[in-house]
Amino acid sequence: MTKQILENINIAAFDAMPTPAEIHARLPISDKAAKTVAHGRTVLRKILDRKDPRLFVVVGPCSIHDPVAGLDYARRLKALADDVGDVLQIIMRVYFEKPRTTVGWKGYINDPFMDDSFQVNVGMEKARDFLLKVNELGLPAGTEALDPYGPQYYGDLITWTAIGARTTESQTHREMSSGLSTPVGFKNATSGDLTVATNAILSASRPHSFLGLNNDGRVAIVRTNGNAYGHIVLRGGDSGPNYDTVSVAMAEAAIAKAKLPANIVVDCSHANSSKKPELQPLVMADVVNQIRAGNKSILGVMIESNIEAGNQSIPADLSQLKYGCSVTDGCIGWDTTEKTLRDAAVLLRDVLPERL
């Protein structure tokens, strides 16, 4: 009697993947990069603990697809960060993974050559190399944690982590967040619901035990201590933006009900800008005005920004890609980014210290 095949029916292949330890050995963290990460995390914890009055700003491309243009952007951002660092703690947005509602390019790690070859082993190494170079500039990096195994490969190079609107409700991502070494921002649900995010913060603050991957690539029971630095990210929802004073007050009430610290980050993109990137500076200006008017709960903002404004489709001939222009969500260009952040620094310089 022929034995019936019951597992892996829809699996085409299991391709070998280097272990986290192997990738780390090939691309070890440098002393300078380590200092950047350690300092960045310390500053963020102080901001969230109300011991540092600065506003933190997670700003950068919607996604990284060209490391040359990405480093060009990083160098510009580092120079700007040095100029406004007394007011704004700048963190470069370095996103390698893109959640998809249906299909589409899933990001630099999943498909680094943008040709559907899905050489994840190459993409993971390239992503780590990029993060090393950014941190060696002295610029902290923030990212979205999508694949639960990803942090084992590059988590030592991340200062701030986001959990996206589609995954904030995921138990897997809440458990993972409880063990991350960074502060974690949980976005409200795509519907606009805040309870999902407050529940996620509470869950991630507790110890968990779950199946995961250790540095040697072995499946392990991961036991976490809980993450005390979870916070909410307002990104708008199906009903519209939620960065205005009324929405922020409602978020403060929801956070208080959950008995959590009133720590809020405003995402100037996504539904808060009605998916129109050019509106992001207006959202930022509104946030600045709220802080000047006495708001004490908004501690950070997120902005999608690139060298060139807008976005582009991925062409069949990749040589036709426009340099420094997003292939995912639209972004504001560099000139607008610089003006937005410099203007914010001027307006907040004398106000932020009063919030301590």
Residue 116 placed within a domain: yes
Confidence of residue 317 (pLDDT cuts 50, 70, 90): very high
> 3-state DSSP helix/strand/coil percent for the chain, to nearest 5?
40, 15, 45
Residue 158 placed within a domain: yes
Q: What is the pLDDT of residue 170?
A: 97
Residue 138 maps to which CATH number? 3.20.20.70
Q: What is the pLDDT of residue 100?
A: 63
Q: What is the pLDDT of residue 356?
A: 86
The rounded distance, in Å, linking the Cα atoms of 252 and 256 is 6
Residue 7 placed within a domain: no
Percent of the chain with pLDDT over 70: 98
Cβ atoms of 258 and 202 closer than 8 Å = yes
The encoded tokens of residue 326 equal 């997003």
The encoded tokens of residue 356 equal 């301590």
Burial class (CB in 10 A: 0-12, 13-18, 19+), 310: middle
Q: What is the pTM of this model?
A: 0.97
Confidence of residue 101 (pLDDT cuts 50, 70, 90): low
Please give the mean pLDDT across all residues of the chain. 96
Count of all residues that appear for the chain in the document? 356
pLDDT higher at 99 or 299: 299
Q: What is the pLDDT of residues 155-164, one digit of tens each?
A: 999 999 999 9
Q: Which residue has the tokens 């972004």?
A: 331
Residue 332 placed within a domain: yes
Residue 4 has pLDDT above 90, yes or no: no
Residue 79 placed within a domain: yes
Residue 354 has pLDDT above 70, yes or no: yes
Residue 213 has pLDDT above 90, yes or no: yes
Confidence of residue 188 (pLDDT cuts 50, 70, 90): very high
Residue 69 placed within a domain: yes
Residue 115 belongs to domain spanning: 32-46+55-350
The encoded tokens of residue 27 equal 């691309």
Q: What is the pLDDT of residue 90?
A: 98
Q: What is the pLDDT of residues 167-183, one digit of tens each?
A: 999 999 999 999 999 99
Cβ atoms of 144 and 97 closer than 8 Å = yes
Confidence of residue 102 (pLDDT cuts 50, 70, 90): low
Confidence of residue 140 (pLDDT cuts 50, 70, 90): very high
Residue 22 placed within a domain: no
Q: What is the mean pLDDT of residues 250-273?
A: 98
Residue 21 placed within a domain: no
Q: What is the mean pLDDT of residues 182-192?
A: 97
- In the chain, how many domains are there? 1
What radius of gyration do the chain's Cα atoms show? Answer: 20
Confidence of residue 103 (pLDDT cuts 50, 70, 90): low
Q: What is the pLDDT of residue 341?
A: 98
Q: What is the pLDDT of residues 113-125, one digit of tens each?
A: 999 999 999 999 9
- Beta 219-223 vs 209-213: how paired, if at all? antiparallel
Q: What is the pLDDT of residues 223-248, one digit of tens each?
A: 999 999 999 999 999 999 999 999 99
Cβ atoms of 164 and 146 closer than 8 Å = yes
Q: What is the pLDDT of residue 132?
A: 98
The encoded tokens of residue 279 equal 């509106």
